């Protein structure tokens, strides 16, 4: 499908094309939100304690066995990977909700 066909297809659906600049801004915001959530996990005591509780559960311990992780470094890397994925998911959700609220606000005005 050519780019012109995609444009016609999107217009028929009522969707607008998003510019490259808007995509870059959204990406930068998503990265910023992810880093902000990671900072919260790093410096906010309740988040640290929650993360330690999750890492101590039996389900989490079974992940070590599933991925054949035997070293302390491997365990730390798995925890860090999980924190990054959770923070990215939260940032994506926050951005989605923000865009949805902006769309609703613009429809009202």
Q: Could you write out the DSSP letters of every residue in 59-108?
A: HHHHHHHHTT--SHHHHHHHHHHHHHHHHHHHHHHHHHHHHHHHHHHHHH
The pLDDT of residue 41: 86
Residue 11 has pLDDT above 60, yes or no: no
Q: Which residue has the tokens 């444009």?
A: 7
* Mean pLDDT value across the chain: 87
Residue 3 has pLDDT above 80, yes or no: no
For residue 33, give every residue at least 6 positions away whose Cβ sits within 8 Å of its Cβ, in sequence order, or none: 90, 91, 94, 95
Give the model confidence (pLDDT) of 13-47 as tens digits.
666 787 899 899 999 999 999 999 999 988 999 98
Residue 6 has pLDDT above 70, yes or no: no
pTM as predicted? 0.76
DSSP 56: T
Give the model confidence (pLDDT) of 53-94 as tens digits.
998 899 988 999 999 999 989 999 999 999 999 999 999 999
The pLDDT of residue 108: 86
Burial, 34: exposed, middle or buried (Cβ in 10 Å; 0-12, 13-18, 19+)? buried
């Amino acid at each position: 499908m050519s780019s012109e066909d995609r444009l016609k297809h999107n217009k028929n659906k009522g969707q607008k094309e998003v510019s490259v600049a808007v995509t870059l801004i959204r990406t930068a915001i998503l990265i910023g939100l992810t880093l902000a959530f990671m900072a919260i996990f790093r410096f906010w005591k309740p988040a640290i304690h929650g993360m330690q509780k999750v890492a101590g559960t039996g389900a989490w311990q079974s992940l070590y066995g599933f991925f054949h992780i035997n070293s302390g470094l491997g365990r730390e890397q798995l925890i860090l990977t999980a924190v990054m994925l959770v923070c990215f998911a939260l940032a994506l959700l926050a951005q989605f909700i923000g865009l949805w609220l902006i769309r609703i606000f613009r429809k009202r005005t």
